[in-house]
Structure 1
């Protein structure tokens, strides 16, 4: 259990590197004398780098011993964070952000590894703990990053994150067990395998679509809410975004519950509830545009509902894909996480554009539109499966009734 807790901590520290730039971009804009919309490109750069790292590096989890791979990536991430924290202009900061995003992909490597370390009847519990750790890193990185940026400048979050990553790497170097890679495929074949799985596994494609659209809305909200809270409607500092993120810490308690519901009712039922909840979060979030106490309450309740729905949906999707091909979990994870984070990076970009064109209401409308698209596809898939099942039952009945 101690090892699982350490792995959950590693997931949180690594994932946090993707999210704390969302709350430090206003400080970057002020210090480097660029527009807030331009400074927000740091968020997009890091998330696009993360998506690239998933595609290029996560498949190696099936090829390279986990201890060597995970520790090496953490060390490289620490060096990238140090480079970002000392960047003199926006250009080097963007480049360092991409590098950090590429290398901080240990969470989707740890997940498949942990699934192979425990018995099948404990995989749901372990997956829930790792996801809770990643979620904790996501939330705490915003809170601590915003506070550090406001009091010590935008460079401080990068330097603190670098120290944390390197410390975790040292602990994992001593704690991780020796594992035997399940694949001997060459690197080009490993890179091609997730594409083949996307082509041949319709359930994987469904999971990817659901998570990409919901995560796009999630990223749009957190990119836009930074501009909203630090803009004229509220006039707050970057730490206010971090405090808002802390409200959503309750989501960490929901992932084990969601896992149990997936076991009892299946991934489709949980996905349906989650997509409806994302749509419902949009009008609640829109109240945030009113400002004042009522607006803050709307942002807190709406973002909490959105967080719970997204994370619970992720549990359902992961349960679905890990049951498809147990011998190819890293490659399944590559396909799934790449689609999710391309959606997240696109959501940050779309959210910035929506905020620039239509303000906060435009961001909320974007969330509802993306979730409605996913919901329509989900209903079509479930309805189509039921029709096929009815046809099979009717055909079997006809064949049995024949003389």
Structure 2
């Protein structure tokens, strides 16, 4: 599951180190080229909202295989796109069909013993996070030496390999929801209304992932600008540095199991806030960028794992739908961060990017402290109605 999550989620991040090259191909400004990243994240958000809830209604293995086949076709379309409009449309579809990890993470939580759920979710998420980060490294290298289109061709081939692997190895997982698709979607509103911790986690996650996207959307422009003059391979190599965030995921999961999510969430946000301080004052030096990337990735991913572990414990039989609500908010924040990051870079340069990222991170801290009442320990995860079956028949 961890390997699958890593390879599939990489689809939506391949374009980030390649935005400058894509812009040159289609003669676009930096802010317009950044819309490719936005389109992919918007598609991922749509996939989580309208497809991931089906994980509670349909057999997950079959759904996963169909989505991977579709993703392979859309990656090939992006590779051969004759115009920016076609590339943008393909990017939306790539995002929708790459929501597979959001079906597998709840599946892992379902299979895990309660006492070690945080640790196991952290392990699966570490594969997803490594995929996010290393996708930028691989993409930057391939883009520099073979061109940006070759990266999408490679991604299509990887999806076909995954289809063969999962058809053989992925276990079947029977659905828990017997109602209609309409009632399934209505239950998302019920869950959101009844679960205050779900709303708090969604707000914190959206704010922090927006701050994360502000940095990664603009880093390629910054490194290829006059201050550094590097190529896309160097921009992508920062994904290797950010892998520290993936290594922190299992540790964050264990912390949730032993000390509760509130502690890990606060610590993660403070690390991300410190990262933007370092990037703002030391981003003109490679060492400053390295330290900032490590702090940002560790902080964001520790907060994300803690949020998910808390959310999955609320209504066990509705984990796919809980994940839909949380992750839809999460990637809505990421999409907004990509747009705002491009604008901040165009109008404020690197200082504008750091101010925006810091402000969004501060917003996440305020939400975590003042919206709802955070749990005090591992036994406080389940709120009133936590064992209620929502929207099922």
Q: TM-score, length-normalised on structure 2?
A: 0.93
- Alpha-carbon displacement from aligned partner over 1:36-93 (angstroms, at most 9, x marks no partner): 2211110000000000010010000001101100111011001100000000110000
Partner of 1:297: 287
CA distance in 1, matches of 2:205, 2:105: 17
Deviation at 1:262, TM superposition (A): 1.4
8 Å CA contact 2:57–2:176 kept in 1: the answer is yes
CA distance in 2, matches of 1:221, 1:38: 17
8 Å CA contact 1:233–1:289 kept in 2: the answer is no
Partner of 1:270: 264
Partner of 1:389: none
CA distance in 2, matches of 1:344, 1:197: 22
Partner of 1:129: 123
8 Å CA contact 2:266–2:365 kept in 1: the answer is yes
Query: Unpaired segments of 5 or more residues in structure 2?
Result: 377-393
> 1:69 pairs with 43, 63, 68, which one?
63
Deviation at 1:192, TM superposition (A): 2.1
* Corresponding residue pairs, total: 376
1:350 aligned counterpart, secondary structure: helix
Q: TM-score, length-normalised on structure 1?
A: 0.90
Partner of 1:355: 345
8 Å CA contact 2:61–2:171 kept in 1: the answer is yes
8 Å CA contact 2:120–2:253 kept in 1: the answer is no
Question: In the alignment, does 2:200 pair up with 1:206?
Answer: yes
1:160 aligned counterpart, secondary structure: helix
Deviation at 1:166, TM superposition (A): 1.2
> 1:377 pairs with 359, 364, 367, which one?
367
CA distance in 2, matches of 1:127, 1:92: 36
8 Å CA contact 2:59–2:175 kept in 1: the answer is yes
- Alpha-carbon displacement from aligned partner over 1:361-396 (angstroms, at most 9, x marks no partner): 11111111111122122222477999xxxxxxxxxx
Deviation at 1:317, TM superposition (A): 0.4
- Alpha-carbon displacement from aligned partner over 1:278-335 (angstroms, at most 9, x marks no partner): 1111121124542xxxx11111110110100010001110111111000100000000
RMSD, matched Cα: 1.5
Query: Unpaired segments of 5 or more residues in structure 1?
Result: 1-6, 387-403
Question: In the alignment, does 2:21 pair up with 1:27?
Answer: yes
Deviation at 1:180, TM superposition (A): 1.4
> 2:154 pairs with 157, 160, 185, which one?
160
Deviation at 1:235, TM superposition (A): 1.1
- Alpha-carbon displacement from aligned partner over 1:153-192 (angstroms, at most 9, x marks no partner): 1101101011111101111011122221101121112222
Question: In the alignment, does 2:81 pair up with 1:87?
Answer: yes
CA distance in 2, matches of 1:263, 1:355: 40
Question: CA separation of 1:46/1:383 partners in 2, compared to 1, >3 Å: closer, same or farther?
Answer: closer
Moved over 3 A (4+): 381-386
> 1:333 pairs with 318, 323, 335, which one?
323
8 Å CA contact 1:262–1:270 kept in 2: the answer is yes
CA distance in 2, matches of 1:296, 1:384: 37
